[in-house]
Chain A
Amino acid sequence: DIQMTQSPSSLSASVGDTVTITCRASQNINKYLNWYQQRPGKAPNVLIYSASTLQGGVPSRFSGSGSGTDFTLIITSLQPEDFATYYCQQSYKTPLTFGQGTKVEFK
């Protein structure tokens, strides 16, 4: 199985900040990497797919980059609705696997 490791596990930030979350795969997954946001009590919602493609309807303050084993999600000008948990997920091969999550909290 491909292991996905996110860092940090949690972070504290303020509205307007820029936040960076990283995700590392245990093997080369090319650009088969997706990012999801999950708010409490809700299903995950895709933000970025194929490492850097913004899902329709997702604000442009979200961006993704990377390929191979190292990936980054950047949120610029953090908004109140962005305080949530973020997961990376590889779609290179089954079993599909997720990172452990990064919780973005109010500072």
Chain B
Amino acid sequence: QITLKESGPTLVKPTQTLTLTCTFSGFSLNSRGAGVAWLRQSPGKAPEWLTLLYWDDDERYSPPLRGRLSIMKDSSKNQVVLRMTDMDPVDTATYFCAHLISGSGHEHFDYWGQGTLVSVSS
């Protein structure tokens, strides 16, 4: 049974750095074909993919946010951490982490965390 859960601050001030942790169980990020992604969703909008870390340590980033994002794993703790610098009120959203499964080149998000609402305000 795969589970993921996001944790971190619910409120950050503009210009601050957001750090969110995804704690997962039921899979190993060292297993071929596995990945963990971060996505966010503003109310009434579609999910927006932010970043993805594959089992082989390949990192992918959304081009417009690449300079502000970093993703890293702590395999000993089964955690993936998202850092997003220079937060702005437009970054207010629910942030999700999700398990990505790869097979024959096809990938999809088969398990998601419950999401955590992050507000950016002074």
Our verdict on whether A and B bind, yes or no, reads yes
Cβ of B63 within 8 Å of any chain A Cβ, yes or no, is: yes
| Known pairs A43-B115, A94-B60, A95-B62; A31 contacts B52 (CB<8 A) | no
Which secondary structure dominates where chain B touches chain A?
A: strand
User: Which one of B45, B62, B96 lies within 8 Å of A43 (CB-CB)?
Assistant: B96
Quote the shortest CB–CB distance from B23 to chain A (angstroms).
15
- The number of chain A residues touching the other chain, given as a range, is 20 to 34
Count CB-based A-B contacts (< 8 Å).
Answer: 57
A50 and B106 contact, Cβ closer than 8 Å, known pairs A43-B114, A45-B112, A95-B63: yes
Which of B's residues lie within 8 Å of A, judged by CB?
37, 45-49, 52, 60, 62-63, 96, 98, 105-110, 112-115
Which residues of chain A have a CB within 8 Å of any CB of chain B?
1, 31-32, 34, 36, 42-46, 49-50, 55, 87, 89, 91, 94-101
